[in-house]
Amino acid sequence: MKALITRKIGMTSVIGENGEAIAITLLSATPNVIGHIKDEAKDGYQALQLGFGEDKKAGKAKQGHFKAAGIIPKIIREIRVSEIDENISVGEKLSADIFNVGDSVDVTGITKGKGFAGTIKRHNFKRGRKTHGGRSYRRPGSIGSMYPQRIFKGKKMAGHMGADQVTVKRLKVELVDMDLNVIGLRGAVPGPRKGIVMLKEAK
């Protein structure tokens, strides 16, 4: 399983081989460190703990956990794997070159938070008329009937919008720059600039 923790930089465009402009999202792929290896016998499942960045204010528990890795990462993610390569060891670093141009990846990130939003913004409701005495411009309108005297769960109403974990599947890798530690993916990636984005090899 190829996986990497990255940070979103922003969007730009590149020119493809046939001359078309391709919108890509740039991700900062600072080398990830393997902080811990979990195995079936000891932990009940197989997984790799990846670390991104450096935590300069880590607590003692975190320092002890990553002592063997030689670096205390700021961001930690765990990747389940079907089998663990014997050549992989704690402290080893994974760079952007584990992905190649043309690879398909699944991208997971936290979407932009929009706060408390109304039904027009949140669910694309229509606006009420502003002529002929209409006073209900952005109100949701009727919510329920007389029976069954309650509102069903899942009713589209105003509320918290955004800040959800979203996975976009099978985005194509268009750029791998080892000098700048940057990966470029075709299309949009969930989350704001500087947001943490998880890349996994598409199954």
| CATH code of the domain covering residue 100 | 2.40.30.10
Q: Are residues 82 and 157 in the same domain?
A: no
| Contact indicator for 51, 73 with CB cutoff of 8 Å | yes
Same domain, residue pair 43 and 141: no
- Do 34 and 76 sit in the same domain of this protein? yes
61 and 136 together in one domain: no
Same domain, 9 and 99: yes
Query: For the chain, first and last CA: distance in Å?
Result: 9
Tell me the three state secondary structure of residue 62: helix
Considering the entire predicted model, what is its pTM? 0.85
Total of domains in the chain: 2
Is the pLDDT confidence value at 124 over 90? Answer: yes
CA atoms within a 13 Å half-sphere pointing along the CA-CB vector of 12: 11
Report the pLDDT value the prediction gives residue 83, as an integer from 0 to 100.
84
Rounded Cα gap, residues 6 and 182, in angstroms: 9
User: How large is the average pLDDT for residues 126-148?
Assistant: 92
Q: What secondary structure letter does DSSP report for 63?
A: H
Q: How far is CA 117 from CA 105, 142, 163, 182, 190, in A?
A: 32, 18, 12, 35, 19
| Same-domain status, 72 and 21 | yes
The pLDDT tens digits for 49-83 are 999 999 999 999 999 999 998 889 999 999 998 88
Q: Are 171 and 137 contained in the same domain?
A: no
Stretch among 8-12, 91-95, 141-145, 188-192 having the lowest mean pLDDT = 141-145
